[in-house]
Structure 1
């Protein structure tokens, strides 16, 4: 029997449980459907979009996802 391992991370300051092996790309896709104007950081280090698909998240990671907003 295979058990699913859950990790506890912080997303924009809120605790969240995610499956082991979740990538930054997968997590971001659950937060927004925007295809541009998004930046992400893991443990205060910006992760380039080109690395999101391979950036596996770990227990205790602190993730910040920001979206650009126009306005004045």
Structure 2
């Protein structure tokens, strides 16, 4: 299926958010996720089904001062 990841169209085969993150190379990274502008906590990623044309935002925490 095709989904939009941080503004880029990507082709994935994973049916849920947790598997899609692994497929996209995020594995166990500490990130925040949103699907179609709705925040998805890490505990719900395995139960969050993705469909064609979903919009996925992946944000990594930044450090600095």
TM-score (normalised: structure 1): 0.76
State the 1:22 CA deviation: 2.1
Please identify the structure whose Cα radius of gyration is greater. Answer: 1
2:26: which partner in 1? 32
- Aligned residue in 2 for 1:61: 54
Structure 1 residues without counterparts, runs of 5 or longer? 1-6
* Separation in structure 2 between the aligned mates of residue 16 and residue 35 of structure 1, nearest angstrom: 19
Structure 2 runs not aligned, ≥5 long? none
Q: Aligned partners of 2:25, 2:61: CA distance in 1, in Å?
A: 14
CA RMSD in angstroms comes to: 1.5
Paired residue for 1:3? none
TM-score (norm 2): 0.83
